[in-house]
Chains A and B, each alone.
Chain A
Amino acid sequence: MLAFRMSSAPTNSTPNPTAPPDAKLRDESASASASRTWQRVQLARHPRRPHSLDYIERLFSNFEELHGDRAFGDDAAIIAGLADFGGLPVAVVAQQKGRDTKQKLHRNFGMPKPEGYRKALRVMKLASKFGLPLISLVDTPGAYPGIDAEERGQAEAIAVNLREMSRLRCPVITVVIGEGGSGGALAMGVGNHNAMLENATYSVISPESCAAIIYRDAKKAQLAAEALKMTAPELLALQLIDDVVAEPGEGAHSDWDAAAGLLRGHLTKVVGELRGRTAEQLIHQRQEKYRRIASFFEEAGA
């Protein structure tokens, strides 16, 4: 039997003091956290969980979608556009899953192709050019792994987004609302402020794929999910995200309006904090954060 540490926080990091004082995120005993992790993986993929468009229609007035990457096509797995948030203009980029079979196919199960990432970048650069706050909603099982995506440079598209997001001249606010699937999620997740909804997940590899590699058994995904530390409270404790946004009741699926209301509160606060800063301050804060993020090494003796 493999032993797993269930603690949600490593000893060398402290919780982010700006996190909400939500006791239920912190007081998870070891055994409770084990089953809670898997619950969260399932909640993040819940068939009734609100998707990006469900939040967009509740949070923004007159969202107007902007289509296409100006080079190849218009990827329905990513939505981009301009909107008003509390009366102020913002740019929005978001990954979109489908709900019924037809929509799922149309949205490619929320798995973007290179033209999707390039469309998102095009709108991010509009935000940068005109100083609009950029709000990015992340919800993808991962970037699409297919022949066409490789032919059109999936890796290059993601890489360029990572580099360019780090130097956008506007406030960049990202929220993982469901599944944060590895590089395909990160390609829209490099911000001044990065949050996750309480039951969202964010992982370098799906727990099923991880289990197939380390236990040679995809059915042991639950063990892998715990080992990967992919839930919002765990990633906050590792200081890999900046905040956790609470969800209503049993989870966001139980009350879409309430979930959107909590997200609105979060975005209002963060947009308010970042709006007054100059482009140089925003870039500096973002790049300094990423220079220091995820530093888990020590100096060995010679």
Chain B
Amino acid sequence: MSWFSRPKSKVKPLPEEQSERVVRTEGLWFKCDECNEILWKKVFEENLSVCPKCGHHYQISARQRVDLLLDEGWVEQDTNLVSNDPLHFTDSKTYKSRLRMMQEKTGIRDAVICASGKMHGQPVELCSMELQFIGGSMGSVVGEKLARAAERALKGGHPLVVVSASGGARMQEGMVSLMQLAKISSMLATLDDARIPFISILTNPTTGGVTASFAMLGDLNIGEPKALIGFAGPRVIEQTIRQKLPEGFQRAEFLLEHGFLDAVVTRHELKRYVARSLRRLLNKPAPAPEPAAPATA
């Protein structure tokens, strides 16, 4: 659970919240930075990293997300693809060494895990982005893995679900990164023409080129509560307009209000919600009896 010991969000929080954003992780305790509640870490984790008191959704890893959404027995796909550093990019370190460092830290070779599996029995292709891998940024490998997942969905005739958690394009791959937006969006046109359902789940944060391509192209676009979702990052907008942003700006509820999300769904409800939506989009009858929804946290 490496994400847990490094919980500082890469995305700059809203100005009102800047002072107290660090999650404290001394020993077995966890202090929620939203409501200041002190919780057993174990209780918090068993609650899917959602604060049981205030309902704040903390980030989880790509792998935890796959476990959360798929039935047991899923198969990971395309695990061995690595970027070949097309620009020979160097910032404070070479891109190649940054990739190696990230691979060691996260245990995956790039910023997305793709899995074939089932969701309450329904076969799906699931892609889950890893925010801890260079900010979940999208380069050639992420683009290729998503395109291959879409191709598997097309071939198998079953739905595609993508969980986004990303700052957008990967600067270190320059225009190679930007072109992945067009690559994936074009694949999604093919999927759309074939009437294969695609559900996009946007988690905290989803910004930049990822929002401006596949994350906004779902047959359903579903947000997690309070997830930051936008095209430009809040800091860029503040610098451009030279004024503070309104409270709640670019949060999932803001997008819902402005008509860009179909629903905001809690993490506890997510699998049931997506599976049921997919069944309906696939025009399949309800199993009897359909499980009742639990009270939301």
Residues of A in contact with B (beta carbons under 8 Å apart): 2-5, 10, 12, 143, 145-147, 149-156, 158-160, 162-164, 166-167, 182-183, 186-187, 189-190, 202-205, 210, 213-215, 227-230, 235, 238, 240, 286-287, 290-291, 293-302
Among A166, A167, A213, the one with the most B-chain Cβ atoms within 10 Å of its Cβ is: A166
The 0/1 profile, CB within 8 Å of A marked 1, for residues 218-256 of chain B is 000000000001111000110011000110011000000
Asked if B82 contacts A298 (CB within 8 A), the reply is yes
> Taking A154-B231, A182-B169, A287-B189 as contacts, is the C-beta distance between A10 and B88 under 8 angstroms?
yes
B250 — which chain A residues lie within 8 A by C-beta? 150
Asked if A4 contacts B213 (CB within 8 A), the reply is no
Closest CB in chain B relative to A170 CB, distance in Å: 15
Among A164, A183, A286, the one with the most B-chain Cβ atoms within 10 Å of its Cβ is: A183
Closest CB in chain A relative to B173 CB, distance in Å: 7
A164 — which chain B residues lie within 8 A by C-beta? 189
Residues of B in contact with A (beta carbons under 8 Å apart): 79-92, 109, 139-141, 143-144, 147, 169, 171, 173-183, 185-190, 192-193, 208-209, 211-217, 229-232, 236-237, 240-241, 245-246, 249-250, 258-260
A166 — which chain B residues lie within 8 A by C-beta? 182, 185-186, 189
Asked if B174 contacts A230 (CB within 8 A), the reply is yes
Asked if B143 contacts A294 (CB within 8 A), the reply is yes
Alpha-carbon distance between A202 and B84 when the two chains are bound, in angstroms:
21
> Taking A228-B174, A294-B176 as contacts, is the C-beta distance between A190 and B186 under 8 angstroms?
yes
Alpha-carbon distance between A190 and B213 when the two chains are bound, in angstroms:
13
A299 — which chain B residues lie within 8 A by C-beta? 80-82
Asked if A294 contacts B140 (CB within 8 A), the reply is yes
Asked if B140 contacts A295 (CB within 8 A), the reply is yes
Asked if A204 contacts B169 (CB within 8 A), the reply is yes
Asked if A238 contacts B187 (CB within 8 A), the reply is no
B174 — which chain A residues lie within 8 A by C-beta? 203-204, 227-230
Taking a contact as CB atoms closer than 8 A, the residue among B83, B209, B245 that contacts A297 in the complex is B83
Among A151, A189, A230, A301, the one with the most B-chain Cβ atoms within 10 Å of its Cβ is: A151
Closest CB in chain A relative to B182 CB, distance in Å: 5
Taking a contact as CB atoms closer than 8 A, the residue among A158, A163, A300 that contacts B188 in the complex is A163
Extra pairs beyond A147-B245, A302-B79 (18, CB < 8 Å): A12-B84, A146-B237, A153-B260, A155-B230, A156-B260, A160-B216, A160-B217, A163-B185, A163-B188, A163-B192, A166-B189, A182-B209, A183-B178, A227-B87, A290-B183, A295-B140, A297-B140, A301-B80
B143 — which chain A residues lie within 8 A by C-beta? 294
Taking a contact as CB atoms closer than 8 A, the residue among B80, B86, B237 that contacts A296 in the complex is B86
Asked if A298 contacts B84 (CB within 8 A), the reply is yes
Q: What are 16 A-B contacts with C-beta separation under 8 Å?
A: A155-B260, A167-B189, A183-B178, A186-B179, A187-B212, A204-B173, A204-B174, A204-B178, A210-B171, A290-B179, A294-B180, A295-B140, A297-B82, A297-B141, A297-B144, A299-B81
Closest CB in chain B relative to A87 CB, distance in Å: 32
Asked if B179 contacts A163 (CB within 8 A), the reply is no
Asked if A147 contacts B171 (CB within 8 A), the reply is no
Across the A-B interface, the 4 shortest Cβ-Cβ residue pairs: A145-B232, A162-B185, A214-B91, A166-B186
Asked if A155 contacts B231 (CB within 8 A), the reply is yes
> Taking A143-B231, A163-B186, A166-B185 as contacts, is the C-beta distance between A238 and B176 under 8 angstroms?
yes
Least CB separation from A298: chain B residue: B84
Closest CB in chain B relative to A55 CB, distance in Å: 23
Alpha-carbon distance between A149 and B208 when the two chains are bound, in angstroms:
13
Alpha-carbon distance between A4 and B237 when the two chains are bound, in angstroms:
31
Alpha-carbon distance between A146 and B189 when the two chains are bound, in angstroms:
28
Asked if A227 contacts B90 (CB within 8 A), the reply is yes
B240 — which chain A residues lie within 8 A by C-beta? 145-146
> Taking A3-B90, A166-B185 as contacts, is the C-beta distance between A154 and B83 under 8 angstroms?
no
Asked if B176 contacts A296 (CB within 8 A), the reply is yes
Alpha-carbon distance between A83 and B96 when the two chains are bound, in angstroms:
49
Alpha-carbon distance between A159 and B82 when the two chains are bound, in angstroms:
26
Alpha-carbon distance between A146 and B84 when the two chains are bound, in angstroms:
35
Among A12, A153, A155, A202, the one with the most B-chain Cβ atoms within 10 Å of its Cβ is: A155
Closest CB in chain A relative to B230 CB, distance in Å: 5
B79 — which chain A residues lie within 8 A by C-beta? 302
Alpha-carbon distance between A291 and B186 when the two chains are bound, in angstroms:
8
Alpha-carbon distance between A159 and B231 when the two chains are bound, in angstroms:
10
Closest CB in chain A relative to B226 CB, distance in Å: 16
Asked if B213 contacts A290 (CB within 8 A), the reply is no
Asked if A229 contacts B87 (CB within 8 A), the reply is yes
Least CB separation from A3: chain B residue: B90
A4 — which chain B residues lie within 8 A by C-beta? 88, 90
Alpha-carbon distance between A149 and B232 when the two chains are bound, in angstroms:
9
A300 — which chain B residues lie within 8 A by C-beta? 80-82, 109
Least CB separation from B209: chain A residue: A183
Among B83, B211, B249, the one with the most A-chain Cβ atoms within 10 Å of its Cβ is: B211
B82 — which chain A residues lie within 8 A by C-beta? 297-300
A158 — which chain B residues lie within 8 A by C-beta? 212-213, 231
Asked if B232 contacts A10 (CB within 8 A), the reply is no
Alpha-carbon distance between A202 and B109 when the two chains are bound, in angstroms:
28
Asked if A156 contacts B216 (CB within 8 A), the reply is yes
A294 — which chain B residues lie within 8 A by C-beta? 86, 140, 143, 175-177, 179-180, 183
A149 — which chain B residues lie within 8 A by C-beta? 231-232
Alpha-carbon distance between A213 and B89 when the two chains are bound, in angstroms:
14
